[in-house]
Every structure is written in C-alpha cells, then in structure tokens.
Amino acid sequence: MFTRRRFLESLVAAGAAVPALRDHALARVVSANQAVAGRSPDDVAQDEDFWLDVQQAFTLDRTIINLNNGGVSPSPRVVQEAMRRYLEYSNTAPVYTMWQVLEPEIEAVRRRLAASFGCDPEEMAITRNASEALEIVQLGIPLERGDEVLTTNQDYPRMLTTWHQRERRQGIVLKEIGFPVPPPSQDDLADRIERAITPRTKVIHVCHITNLTGQIFPIRKIVRLARDRGIEVIVDGAHAYAHFPFTRDELECDYYGTSLHKWLLAPHGTGFLYVRKAKIERLWPLMAAPPEMNGDIRKFEEIGTHPAANHNAIAEALTFHEGLRPERKAARLRYLFQRWAKRLGAQPKVRILTPYDAAQSCGLASFSVEGLDVNKLVAFLWDKHRIIVTPITHKEFTCVRVTPNVYTTIAEIDRFGEVMEEVVRKGLPA
C-alpha cells in the first residue's frame, strides 16, 4: 500500500521541496483547545484569545471585512498546503501519481465524511458542490407526467431552475409555497408544507437552512409527514453541514446534498451527496455509469477526469473542523450573528429577518432597512468601507445577507455595526 510516509519519501527522493505538514498556526489552535477544555461552547464563543489563535490559521486580506462566507469560504492554511502537495505530486506523472496513488485515497475521505454525517460510507458520494449533488437526485429520481414536486419559493435558484427544466421537458408540476420572514415558528413551516400536499405530490424539496435569511427548517418533522404519505424528501444542505451540529439520524432523510467549501472550509469545488442505501439502485446518475454499478454509491462520481487534490484535501478540513469542536464553532457563529443583529435591530428602521432562536438560526442572517435600496447599500459598504455583504432581491422581500466565519474578528463585526448605524441615521450619500 502506498502510505503517506512513502508518498513523502518519494517527493524527497525526487528532489522536491516538501512543505511542513504541521504549521505554527495549527499548533496554536491545538494549544488554544487545550486552554479552554471543560468550558461551555457559549463561554468559549466570547473568548477572543481563543478565537485569535483560530484566526491565525488563515491567510487573509485584513484590509477587507469579508462578511460573505455563505457563497464560498477561504480554507485554512493547512488545507491549502495539503491541496498544493497533492496537486504538485499529481503533476509528476498524473497517469500514475494522480490516478493510481492519490485517487484511491478518496475512500479514506469517504469514510471520514460518512462518520461525521452519521451514515454508512457506502451511502456517501463525493461531489463538486451542492448543486451537482442535488441535481443528481432531481434529475435522477423517477417521475411521470403530472407528478407534483413541492418546494418553497425561497429555495436556491439553481435548484428551482432544475425542477423548471424537468417541468418543461417531462411535464411534471412544480409547486412553490411562500412563507413569511421570519416565520412564526418551525411548526408553521411544516404546516404550510403539509397543507400544500396533494394526492399527486411525489417529492418534497426543502432547504435545511435557507441561503436567503438563514432560516432552519424542521427537517425531521417534514420527512416524517412525507414518509407517512409515500413522498420522497430531498434536503438541500448547502449551508447546513459543518455550520451547526447534526447527524443523518437526527434528520431521518433519504437524500442530502451539500457543499464543503462553505462552512467546512474545504477546497473550493467540493461537496457530498448522501443517498440512503435502499434508494441508490433506482436513482439514475447525472453522468452515465455501467449497469454493474447500479447499487454502488460511486456511480454518482462518474464524471471523467478530475483532480484528486481537491477531494483528498477534504480530510484536512475535517480535521480542522473537528479540532475546533462543532458545538464551539456553532456557538461562535451564533454569537457573531447576534452581536451585529441585536445592535442593528435596536434601530427603528431596521428589521432582522432571521430568528434569534438557536433552533432556527446560526451564523447566516439577513436584515432590511426601511427606505434603503439593498444594491446601493451593498455597493456603498464595499466602495467606501471595504465591507463585503450580499444583496438579496426576492420577489417578496429584499434584504442584506451577512455571513461571518470563525476567522471573523469582533472588531470587524463592530466596525460593520458602526458603519450601518451611521447609514441608518444619515442615509446613503447622494
């Protein structure tokens, strides 16, 4: 077996410069963890000394305040270096080094992801992003003309586009329901979905947490009410996995797709698809696979030549995530959200569209300001203050989305709050 030790020895023998596997920043994170052992996640969430050590693990431009980590996040240095090592080694003789040496190591990554999600490795496919993972299910699940798919009008646009294409191509029916932001409760969300079910409903497609306002849905309740009626549930977890702690068994879902370059901080262009083992055989892959792979989760990875470096470096991102402790990470993200949101929410013209309830939100949240154009506001924040946030324009509301991450400092959050308070008081400059 070609072990990591042999891999490194081969690089040395070839005269390559091998980067250190353990940098000082990662050592600081390990030391910081030891210093807060035994303390509650909520307590650690406010310990700036601890998070300062975590922040040193990243290579960032601190002249920019990046509060748009919902699209894609920077990876820690240790993840970047792992990917760089794999890519450099791949290029020494890719038909051997990439295909025969590095590509088989995807199985170790599969086992790590499955353990984290709480499923069998034979139910875990590694994809390039949440869109690919979800479209595999959306386009591969058997449906007939007239069958109904139920979703919300706040689901991710690419996923809605996929269903609309299938609607045009095959005559299925897509039903989109609305809900207020924020909703009265999670029960209200489940009730809205239940009321929209008809005898022709075959699939419910729902976000675990929405990309617009960070609303967390009651997935288990929705799955149970659907399963009682023989309806399939596809869960879009693009913003949920590694954002806050949960396992497959807490959701009870059969299909789950996510990106790993958001909250896991894995290399850009990585994701996973979970399919319950009993469902694999009847689900068609996005790209063709031979019939002998019908029951094999790997049929969803048949995409042709691709780099092994990206998916192998997921293992380093998992190690970093687990080292932080998922509960601490979620507590920190909630603390950052509530710090800026409660400050702005005290302003009479500001409306926070994300619940403070920990069961319904975490680090991704949105707000609106009466009388302000969101696109002009976002442009002003960038042009004048180098603060990156996201404008959201939905047919039922507009807002600004704010998504810090574990490397975000309190000073950056407070600077954002200070600038926004001034904007609310004085308005945008002409």
Local mean pLDDT, 10-residue blocks, the chain (430 residues): 35 34 60 82 96 96 97 97 98 97 98 98 98 98 98 98 98 98 97 98 98 98 97 98 98 98 98 98 97 98 97 98 96 98 97 97 98 97 98 97 98 98 94
Q: How far is residue 284's CA from residue 211's CA, in Å, rounded to a whole number? A: 27
Specify whether the CB–CB gap between 149 and 175 falls below 8 A.
yes
Q: In Å, how far from its chain's centre is CA 70?
A: 7
Strands, DSSP E only, in 97-252? 124-127, 148-152, 173-177, 201-207, 232-236
For position 25, what pLDDT does the model report? 58
* Per-residue model confidence (pLDDT) at position 4: 35
Strands 173-177 and 232-236: unpaired
pLDDT computed for residue 104 by the predictor:
97
Q: What's the pLDDT at 26?
A: 62
CA gap 93, 98 in Å, rounded: 7
> How far is Cα 86 from Cα 58, in angstroms, rounded to an integer?
19
What local confidence, expressed as pLDDT, does residue 16 receive? Answer: 35
Q: Which long-range contacts (CB under 8 A, 24 or more apart) does 27-36 make?
A: 28/53, 28/56, 28/57, 29/53, 29/54, 29/56, 29/57, 29/320, 29/323, 29/324, 30/323, 33/323, 33/324, 33/325, 36/328
User: Rounded to 10 degrees, what is the CA torsion of 104, 107, 109, 111?
Assistant: -170
Amino acid at 423: V
What the chain holds in terms of domains, given with CATH numbers, is 101-318 (3.40.640.10), 327-423 (3.90.1150.10)
Would you state the pLDDT for residue 19? Answer: 36
Q: Which amino acid is at 47?
A: D
The structure tokens listed for 386 are 């180098």
**pLDDT for the residue 24:** 61
CA distance 349 to 327: 33
Cα gap 42→335, rounded to integer Å: 8
Query: Residue 31: what pLDDT?
Result: 74
Query: HSE (CB half, 13 Å, CA atoms) of 47?
Result: 18
Report the distance separating Cα 352 and Cα 273, nearest Å.
32
Give the per-residue pLDDT at 23: 53
